[in-house]
Amino acid sequence: MIARKLFAAAAMTAALTSPAAAELLELEKDELTFGFIKLTDMAPLAVAYENGYFLDEGLFVTLEAQANWKVLLDGVIDGTLDGAHMLAGQPLAATIGYGTEAHIITPFSMDLNGNGITVSNEVWEMMRPNIPSMDDGRPVHPISASALTPVVEEFANRGEPFNMGMVFPVSTHNYELRYWLAAGGLEPGYYSPDNISGQIGADVFLSVTPPPQMPATLEAGTIHGYCVGEPWNQQAVFKGIGVPVITDYQMWKNNPEKVFGITKEFADENPNTTKAIVKALIRAAIWLDENDNANRLEAVEMLSRPEYVGADAEVIANSMTGFFEFEKGDRRDIPDFNVFFRYNATYPYYSDAIWYLTQMRRWGQIAETKDDQWYFEVAESVYRPDIYLEAARLLVDDGLANEADFPWESDGFKAPTPAADIIDGIAYDGRAPNAYLESLPIGLKTGQTVVGNEVQG
């Protein structure tokens, strides 16, 4: 309660110090409803609301938690929601017509990293002997999925499927879990146009569970592990029902995460409103990271309110304040576990979009081989750095952001990720999607398609 009162005072000052001089945009629509899923990476939305950044732009925003990613996506498409905290794969998949078809764009990327893979206590017991220990007895990180291989074999011998949960067919979590499994030599299974279970030829069977239900589903024994965003990995540790084995930061340093998605129609009809939204969100991201994460505790208090994430503050604090607890007491520093603004986290890079598209192709969600040009074109129609930079320019002019913090001259492609930053040692260059696909040992290659239950070509 005291923290809340203190925070209220802080919010007041934030509101009062807002720039009275800044020119207000001529808004086409000023009452907006945004959807989100109960995850810590929705923080920019909560902060933009609570710190009054939306109101500074003249936007009256209502934030509404959604039951699952499907409901959220449908809400944006049918107009019940004006925009939402989305999985990066959702705007891309909707635009290319995988799942529900609609042209959704993203002018703002919400964060980097923030996910983890957790296994049940039983599986952890079985995995532990395969993982080398450090001098103090704690396991050596990062843990490869190869430590899981004997466990999966044992399950197969017993005639039991090894099930794992992810949050949505086109979620980062699906691709990250698959990436980790494949890097350790396990087949996560393929999609085909007539079998969208994603379990064709699988050693490990992945299925969809909404994020907040992951711990309960794991406890019930329906799944033996999962990949999800925070706080649902730390929740498993606190409740003693599972052990996180790896974070996505350890799999791929500073990988792109959620995006803010709106329909193209909304952006076309409401250009100024769109810019105003992006301005408010950029300010929130700056606030979350400024002064070396100084505001994170305040953000944790915000997120722990029932209307946002609602989990206990101490659970949320773990990942938000720079460390992660693997087993109870095994706390390790991961200062960049959640990045909201540093490293141009909010800029919608085409190369990030292309990575998601390569993973959709890799696992058969994109059934046929596409040329590199196709990847570039899809990325350009969904990721909109042009809108982002216009909003950033307005913020710099208002004196609310530093000119130096934005990549004005970028062509939308990040420098290739070096092999050392990725768990399987395979470099990623967004400029050469097909070459990248060829370099991955497990996954569809040029010309291959999945027909029936097998890979052909």
Partner 1 sequence: MTAIDPDSLSPEEAREARKVRLFTRINAADKWFQVLGLSWLTPVLKAAAGDNPKAQGAEIWRLLGVPILAIIAFLTLWGTLAPTVQTSLGAIPGPAQVWEQAVALHEDAQDKAESKARFEAQVATLNERRAEQGREPVERAYTGAPSYYAQIWTSIQTVFFGFLIASVIAIPLGIMAGLSPTANAALNPIIQIFKPVSPLAWLPIVTMVVSAVYVTNDGLFAKSFLNSAITVTLCSLWPTLINTSLGVSSIDRDLVNVSKVLKMSTWTKITKLVLPSALPLIFTGLRLSLGVGWMVLIAAEMLAQNPGLGKFVWDEFQNGSSQSLARIMVAVFTIGIIGFLLDRLMYAIQSLFTFSNHR
Minimal distance in Å, beta carbon 406 to partner 1? 25
Of residues 204 through 223, those in contact with partner 1 by CB under 8 A are 212-213, 215-216, 219
Whichever of 287 and 355 has its CB closer to partner 1, that residue is 287
SS3 323: strand
Residue (of 145, 155, 147, 189) closest to 169 by Cα position: 189
What the block records as the tokens of 436 is 């990248």
CB of 258 to partner 1, least distance (A): 18
Binding-site member from 56, 111, 176, 289 for partner 1 (CB under 8 A): 56
- For residue 195, which of 2, 365, 353 has the smallest C-alpha distance? 365
Identify the residue among 60, 268, 331, 427 touching partner 1 (CB under 8 A). Answer: 60
Q: How far apart are CA 337 and CA 193, in angstroms?
A: 36
User: For residue 270, how far is the Cα from the chain centroid?
Assistant: 26
Single-letter residue type at 124: W
Q: Which stretch binds partner 1 (CB under 8 A): 55-63, 258-266, 323-331, 367-375?
A: 55-63
Rg (CA), the chain: 21
The number of residues that bind partner 1 (CB under 8 A) is 48
> Is-contact 106 261, C-beta < 8 A?
yes
- Mark 310-329 with x for binding to partner 1 (rule: CB under 8 A) and - for no binding: xxx-----------------
Q: What is the bridge-based pairing of β-strands 60-65 and 31-36?
A: parallel
Using CB under 8 A as the binding rule, the residues of this chain from 4 to 23 that contact partner 1 are: 4, 8, 11-12, 15-16, 18, 20, 22-23
Site string for partner 1, 237-266 (x = CB under 8 A): --x-x-------------------------
Q: How many angstroms separate the Cα of 125 from the Cα of each of 122, 147, 216?
A: 5, 11, 20
The conformation of residue 87, written as its DSSP 8-state character, comes to -
Q: What are residue 105's phi and psi, to 5 degrees?
A: -120, 165
Any contact of residue 107 with partner 1 (CB under 8 A)? no
Question: Which segment (24-32, 160-168, 347-355, 410-418) binds partner 1 by CB under 8 A?
Answer: 24-32
Which chain residues interact with partner 1 by CB under 8 A? 1, 4, 8, 11-12, 15-16, 18, 20, 22-24, 30-31, 38, 49, 52, 55-56, 58, 60-67, 71, 78-80, 212-213, 215-216, 219, 235, 239, 241, 304-307, 309-312
